[in-house]
């Protein structure tokens, strides 16, 4: 889809600045075609590139995608290893393009369980793109919302115990500052592909007041055109954040 066509679908001044996506359906997309599941994951990685590049024309400054959850380790060893290889190749192949296109790439999740070589690649591209700001692209890998909240709560408890944080200052802001997403804006819109209607432990704290859209489109078929239509619908929603609109 041409950049102009995508831009035409974006509402002026009322679109989501931060979109978070639960990328679901890669395996089913491949299975439906009689192919191995990893073929779907490779196709899904290609789709990520297109969506990242479409963000500026849609007015999206922040994009966060759910790539691998803390529960995904339950999948077959072959699929897990294949996914980790796809992540590594994506970082290696896209590093130059991201730097040139002003994309800042960051990762959230408990990366200690990941292969040290992958961790090194992740840290390297984070450092390389740290000065970019055209698109803030975040990948959640070995991420789980409950795990993130638990880790943040532990850090807050440790800081109280050590005297770094006063007990009365252990509030919402203090916890937020200890999340993986510290310094990030909360998502305005969360999208889940493939027809499932679960949030799957994705950004439960951050997305408390986000708008949600569940689409039947499988992730490998999720084009910038589809995202543009969803962004357009977002512009028609009334966001009250617990209050009442006046006027």
pLDDT in tens, 39-67: 999 999 999 999 999 999 999 999 999 99
- Over residues 114-136, mean pLDDT: 97
Residue 72 a catalytic site member:
yes
Examine the pLDDT at 183 and tell me if it is beyond 80: yes
pLDDT band at 176 (very low <50, low <70, confident <90, very high): very high
Return d(Cα 184, Cα 62) in angstroms, integer: 9
Return d(Cα 243, Cα 201) in angstroms, integer: 26
Examine the pLDDT at 6 and tell me if it is beyond 90: no
b/e for 139-150, b at 16 or more Cβ within 10 A?
A: bbbbbbbebbbe
Write out the two tokens for 45. Answer: 């990685």
Return d(Cα 222, Cα 48) in angstroms, integer: 9
Q: Residue 7 has what pLDDT?
A: 44
* Residue 162 labelled as part of a binding site: no
Task: Give strand pairing partners of 213.
Answer: 191
* Residue 144 labelled as part of a binding site: no
> 3-state DSSP call for residue 22?
strand
Domains of the chain: 14-144+186-232 (3.40.1180.10)
Q: Is 136 left (phi over 0), alpha (psi -120 to 50) or beta?
A: beta
* Residue 113 labelled as part of a binding site: no
* Residue 18 labelled as part of a binding site: no
Q: Residue 236 has what pLDDT?
A: 84
Sign of dihedral through CA atoms 126, 188, 206, 115? negative
pLDDT band at 221 (very low <50, low <70, confident <90, very high): very high
Neighbours of 74 (CB within 10 A): 8
Of 72, 159, 186, 221, which is the active-site residue? 72
Residue 142 a catalytic site member:
no
Q: Residue 14 has what pLDDT?
A: 78
- Percent of the chain exceeding pLDDT 90 equals 89
Examine the pLDDT at 245 and tell me if it is beyond 80: no
In the sheet that holds 135-143, the strands lie side by side as 103-108, 135-143, 62-69, 18-22, 189-192, 211-214
pLDDT band at 132 (very low <50, low <70, confident <90, very high): very high
Return d(Cα 142, Cα 113) in angstroms, integer: 8
Residue corresponding to tokens 């408390």: 208
Of 5, 8, 24, 147, which is the active-site residue? 24
């Amino acid at each position: 889809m041409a950049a102009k066509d995508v831009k035409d679908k974006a509402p002026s001044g009322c679109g989501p600045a931060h979109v978070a996506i639960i990328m679901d359906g890669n395996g089913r997309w491949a299975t439906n075609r009689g192919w191995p599941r990893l073929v779907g994951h490779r196709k899904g990685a290609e789709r990520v590139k297109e969506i990242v590049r479409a963000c500026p024309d849609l007015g999206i400054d922040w994009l966060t995608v759910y790539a691998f959850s803390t529960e995904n380790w339950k999948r077959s060893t072959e699929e897990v290893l294949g996914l980790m290889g796809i992540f590594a190749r994506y970082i290696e192949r896209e590093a130059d393009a991201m730097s040139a296109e002003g994309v800042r790439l960051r990762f959230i999740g408990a990366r200690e369980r990941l292969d040290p070589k992958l961790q090194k690649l992740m840290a390297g591209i984070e450092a390389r793109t740290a000065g970019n700001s055209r698109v803030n692209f975040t990948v959640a890998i070995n991420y789980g919302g409950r795990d993130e909240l638990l880790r943040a709560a532990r850090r807050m408890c440790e800081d109280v115990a050590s005297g770094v944080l006063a007990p009365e200052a252990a509030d919402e802001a203090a916890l937020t500052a200890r999340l993986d997403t510290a310094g990030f804006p909360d998502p305005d819109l969360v999208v889940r592909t493939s027809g499932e209607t679960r949030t799957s432990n994705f950004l439960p704290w951050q997305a408390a007041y986000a708008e949600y859209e569940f689409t039947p489109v499988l992730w490998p078929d999720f084009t910038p055109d589809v995202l543009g239509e969803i962004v357009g619908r977002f512009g028609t929603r009334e966001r009250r954040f617990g209050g009442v609109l006046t006027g």
